[in-house]
Copies of this chain bind each other. A is one copy, B any other.
Amino acid sequence: MQYRFKHKGKIPSLTDGLLESYTHTPTGMEHIDYAELPSRSEMINVINGLMSLLFPGYFGPKRPDRENLPFFTGARLDQIYEILAVQIFMGLRHRCRGDLSSCGNCETLAEDITCAFLKELPKIRQILATDVEAAWRGDPAAKSFDEIIYCYPGLFAISLYRMANYLHKAGSLILPRFMTEHAHSKTGCDIHPGATIGDEFFIDHATGVVIGETTIIGKNVRIYQGVTLGSLRFPKDKDGNLLRDQKRHPTLEDDVIVYAGATILGADTTIGKGAVIGGNTWITKSVEPGAKIILKQ
C-alpha cells in the first residue's frame, strides 16, 4: 500500500521542538558532545563470547573439539580482549573527564583491568562448577548437568554476576551494571555486581529475584524465584542526601534456604547458618542459625 502523507511539512517544527527541549531540560537527560558511552551491541557480543569461553560447546556458534580448541580459544580471547578493553575504557573515560580527550590513565587502566579479568576466567570457572553442582543437588527436575548449563536461567544470571563482580571490584564503571542488567532482562533475576556471594549458589527459576548491592551470602545457599534481599531504610547525611556506600542489605550465612517470594531486608538482618525461610515471609530482623520461619496461615 502506498500511504499518502499529508502533514510531513510539520517535521521541521517538530524537530525544532525537540532541539529546544534538548537545550532546556535538566542536565543529564541527553548525552551530547560528551564521550561516547559503551556500546550495548558490542557489550552483548562480549557477553556471548565470554559465555562460550566459560562453557565451551554449550554457548557460542561452533562446537569445539580437542584439535581446534586451542585456536578457538585463542581467537575468541583475542577478539574479546580488543572489544572489552575499549568498552571498559569508554566506561572509565565517561566518568573521568566526560569529554573526548583522554586523561591517558583511563586507557592504561582499562587494558590492565581487561588482562587481569581474562586471567581470572579459569578461577571463575572453578566457582561456577560449584554452582552447577549445587543446582544438580538442589533441583530434582534437573535431568543432567548439561541441561543446567544449557537451559537454566539462574546459572546464566550467576555467571554474569560473577564476571561483573570481578570487573566491579577491579574498578570498571557502568559496564558491570550493564552486564547484570542484561542478565536481569533475559532471566528476571537482578543481582547487583557489588553483592558478595559464596560458592555453591543456586537460584531456582530465578524470575523476580533481587539481590542488593551490599548483600553478603555465604556458601551453599539456595534461593527461589521472587526472593528479595533488600534495604529497609536509607541512611542520609545531615543535609538529607542519601549515603551511597553504606551496608544496607542483609547477610545470609552458609547453608541457608529461602523459599519463593520471601522478602528479607536490612543491613543488620542476619539469617543464621542453616536457617530456612519460608515463602512469602517479610523478614526485617535477624534469624537464629537453624531456625525455620514460616508465614502464619
Chain A positions near chain B (C-beta within 8 angstroms): 3-8, 10-12, 14-15, 17-22, 25-34, 36-37, 53-58, 63-66, 69-70, 73-74, 77-78, 81-82, 85-86, 89, 94-95, 107-108, 111-112, 115, 118-119, 121-122, 125-126, 128-129, 132-133, 137, 140-147, 149-153, 173-174, 177-178, 181, 184-188, 190, 192, 194, 205, 207-208, 210, 212-213, 224-226, 228, 230-231, 234-235, 242-244, 246, 248, 259-261, 263, 265, 278-283, 294-297
Contacts and interface: CB of A to CB of B under 8 A. Distances in A.
A244 B121 contact: no
A93 to B, nearest CB: 10
Given A37-B150, A187-B185, A281-B280, A228 B226 contact: yes
B133 A244 contact: no
A140 B213 CA distance: 9
Q: Tell me the number of copies of this protein.
A: 3
A270 B280 CA distance: 20
Given A8-B81, A25-B129, A64 B32 contact: yes
A7 B143 CA distance: 30
A69 to B, nearest CB: 6
Contact of A18 (B7, B122, B184, B210): B122
Nearest to A241: B137
Nearest to A118: B14
Contacts of A246: 140
Q: Interface centre among A14, A37, A177, by most B CB within 10 Å?
A: A14
A205 B185 CA distance: 10
Contacts of A5: 81-82, 85, 111
A22 B53 CA distance: 9
B261 A228 contact: yes
Contacts of A10: 115, 119
A133 B143 CA distance: 35
Contacts of A297: 281-283
A107 B5 CA distance: 9
Given A3-B85, A4-B107, 8 more contacts: A5-B81, A11-B77, A18-B121, A28-B145, A29-B149, A32-B69, A188-B208, A261-B280
